[in-house]
Amino acid sequence: MERVWRLILDEAHEPHMNMAIDEAIMLCQKNGTCLPTLRIYRWLYPCISIGRFQNLDEVLMWGSDLPIVKRPTGGGAVFHNEFGFTYSIVYQEKSSVLPRGVLDSYRQIHIGILNGLKNLGIDAVLYTSERNGRRSLPPKVCFTTPAEFDITCDNKKIAGAAQRRMFEVVLHQGEVSLSLDVWPDWSYNKLKYAILKGLSKQLSAKFVECCLSEKEKILAEELECYLRR
């Protein structure tokens, strides 16, 4: 049965605002008044996002001069630039739009992403420890080593994500990072709509384009101020 989802095709924001918006959507979901939400967005300039449990001092030791922002989810450091496709999914776990549990929900979402990439002719696969004969630990730099149900192409990780659960609401933040030689073949919009089609089919979702609510906008502005401290 097809379920209605809210689709937010957002504009580019600076790093702290992008994270604040995702967290605001999550917090506003706790009373159950919002539809499950897929947000697709870009970054105003290149930056690094790090997992909420990562040590900022350790990342600063890498010597990068890129701005750094902490995500509300876990995982390793991710470099964001014009060749990345960033999205978030927020839903109430009891809604049953996705299976319960981290790995099962992660797998379902990434199968949708994978199918979208395959429709573009990208020879990608779902990484599993069973397929590869080993189980990897979460890396400090997200795209160096694939974890369970990440997406790989030519043995390189091209899609990963991290989740957080709070108030029985799930926030899933993901990134698809394609190599420079792939981008000339497809526009960003072509990639976006291929992934939307793949997710729609896999999740039995009908995406209806919407905007952030006024409550979400106000909360995001408050959270951005907090994140900048």
Compute CA distances 216 → 6, 91, 200, whole Å.
14, 15, 24
Let me know: does 227 contact 70? Beta carbons within 8 Å.
yes
Separation CA 168–CA 54 (nearest Å): 24
Task: List Cβ neighbours of 29 (8 Å cut-off, separation of 6 or more).
Answer: 37, 90, 91, 92, 167, 169
Q: 162 has which bridge partners? A: 173
Active site members: 142
Q: Specify whether the backbone of 49 is left (phi greater than 0), alpha (psi in -120 to 50) or beta.
A: beta
Angle at the Cα of 67 (from 218 to 219), degrees rounded to 5?
10
Other Cβ atoms less than 10 A from the Cβ of 70: the count is 17
Instruction: Quickly tell me which residue has 């089919």 as its tokens.
Output: 201
Q: Which residue has the tokens 């793949």?
A: 198
Choose among 39, 45, 44: nearest CA to 9. Answer: 39
- Work out whether strand 3-13 and strand 169-177 pair parallel, antiparallel, or are unpaired: unpaired
